[in-house]
Amino acid sequence: MPPRQLFDLSSIDTDTIIADREEIYRHLPHRYEFMQLDGIYLCDTEAGTMAAYRDVRADEFWVRGHIPGRPIFPGVLMIESAAHLVSYYVGHAIELDGFLGFSGVTDVKFRATVQPGQRVTFLGKVLDLRKRRCKAQVQAFVDDKFVFEGIITGMWV
């Protein structure tokens, strides 16, 4: 049985986007194929919660080769997308030069597949935040379907 949602998906105002793709990547160094998020819904530094979305498109670089005839969004890109959310959050919670880069990922489980044409909603909850490191629990959903979970640890790069 999957764990409980970090917070209720229905509590997210999906009509209000606090940062679009351009704003997200003004703060993160990723470019081209590695711009993984399309918008941020929530970045609550007091509660330690965050939410974002990614529209999985049929024209992405991996579609042709990641299961021809039945493209499946790669798990590693789900992890990368969630890491971008955590990095964006930390950039707003702590004012430091640089960005939060991967230093670890644990307890990852993929619970369902994601195909082009679907919107993935990522949730995050900070477990530990220090000046040099952040650990956050992350989850992803398509509609109300649980597709991914894990714990991401990052350090300032």
Span 44-60, pLDDT tens digits: 999 999 999 999 999 99
Q: Is residue 48 part of a domain?
A: yes
Q: Is residue 71 part of a domain?
A: yes
Instruction: Write down the pLDDT at residue 66.
Output: 96
pLDDT tens figures, 58-111 = 999 999 999 999 999 999 999 999 999 999 999 999 887 888 888 999 999 999
Domain CATH for 147: 3.10.129.10
Q: Is residue 25 part of a domain?
A: yes
Q: Is residue 3 part of a domain?
A: no
Report residue 75: phi and psi, to 5°: -55, -40
Range of the domain at 50: 9-156
Closest listed residue to residue 85, CA positions, set 46, 128, 123, 134: 123
Instruction: Write down the pLDDT at residue 157.
Output: 86
Q: Known catalytic residue: 92?
A: no
Round to whole Å and give the CA distance between 97 and 118: 34
Buried b (16+ CB within 10 A) or exposed e, 74-99: ebebbbbbbbbbbbbbbbebeeeeeb
Which of 27, 66, 84, 92 does the annotation list as catalytic? 66
Residue 81 DSSP code: H
Q: Is residue 28 part of a domain?
A: yes
Round to whole Å and give the CA distance between 43 and 150: 19
Q: Is residue 109 part of a domain?
A: yes
Instruction: Write down the pLDDT at residue 2.
Output: 66
